[in-house]
Amino acid sequence: MLAILRRELIAILRTRKAFVLQLGVALCFVGLIALRWPTDGRVDLSGTRSGQVFGLFSYGLLAAVALLAPVFPATSIVTERRKGTLALLLNSPLRAWSIYAGKWFGVLGFISLLLVLTLPAAAACYAMGGISLTGQLLAVYGLLLLAAMLYISLGLLVSSLAHSADGAVRVTYGCVLALAVLTLAPYFFLQQSGGWLSELAAWVRCISPVPAMMEIVGHGDVGSEAAWKGPSAVVRFMLLAPLLASLFSGITISRLRYHLLDRARSQGLITDNRSLGTRAARRAFFIVDPNRRSRNIGNWVNPVMAKEFRSRRFGRSHWMLRLIGGCAILSLFLAFTVTTGTVQWDLESVGGPLVLLQVGLMVVFMPSLAAGLISSEQENNAWPLLRTSPLSGGRIVRGKLLSALWTMLLMLLATLPGYAVMIYIQPTLWLQVIRAFVCLFLAGLMALMISAMVGSWFRKTAAATTAAYVAVLGLFGGTLLIWLARDAPFGFQTVENALKLNPMAAALSVFNLPGFRNYQLIPASWWVAGVVIVICFVVMRFRVQSLTRPE
Task: Kindly list the residues in this chain that would bind other proteins in the complex (CB under 8 A).
Answer: 164, 265-268, 270, 273, 293-294, 296-299, 301, 303-304, 306-307, 310-313, 315-316, 377, 380-391, 550-551
Point out which residues pair with 486 in neighbouring strands.
Answer: 490
- The answer to whether the bond into 489 is cis (omega within 30° of 0) is yes
Shortest distance (Å) from residue 82 CB to other proteins: 12
Q: Toward other proteins, which CB reaches closer, 259 or 265?
A: 265
Coil vs helix vs strand at 54: helix
Q: Which amino acid is at 546?
A: S
Shortest distance (Å) from residue 310 CB to other proteins: 5
Backbone phi and psi for residue 80, each to the nearest 5 degrees, phi listed first = -60, -40
Question: What's the burial of 298, exposed, middle or buried (CB within 10 Å: 0-12/13-18/19+)?
Answer: exposed
Q: Toward other proteins, which CB reaches closer, 93 or 298?
A: 298
One-character DSSP codes across 238-298: HHHHHHHHHHHHHHHHHH-SGGGT--PPP----GGGS-HHHHHHHHHHHSS-TTSPPPPPP
Shortest distance (Å) from residue 304 CB to other proteins: 8
**CA 64 – CA 290 distance, rounded (Å):** 39
Residue 92's region, left for phi above 0, alpha for psi from -120 to 50, else beta, is beta
Shortest distance (Å) from residue 430 CB to other proteins: 41
**CA 212 – CA 203 distance, rounded (Å):** 12
Q: Toward other proteins, which CB reaches closer, 240 or 396?
A: 396
Q: Which amino acid is at 538?
A: V
Q: Toward other proteins, which CB reaches closer, 17 or 387?
A: 387
Q: How many CB atoms lie within 10 A of CB 162?
A: 22
Shortest distance (Å) from residue 539 CB to other proteins: 23
Question: What's the burial of 260, exposed, middle or buried (CB within 10 Å: 0-12/13-18/19+)?
Answer: middle
Shortest distance (Å) from residue 536 CB to other proteins: 25
Shortest distance (Å) from residue 162 CB to other proteins: 13
Q: Toward other proteins, which CB reaches closer, 169 or 330?
A: 169
Q: Toward other proteins, which CB reaches closer, 87 or 391?
A: 391
Q: Toward other proteins, which CB reaches closer, 293 or 517?
A: 293
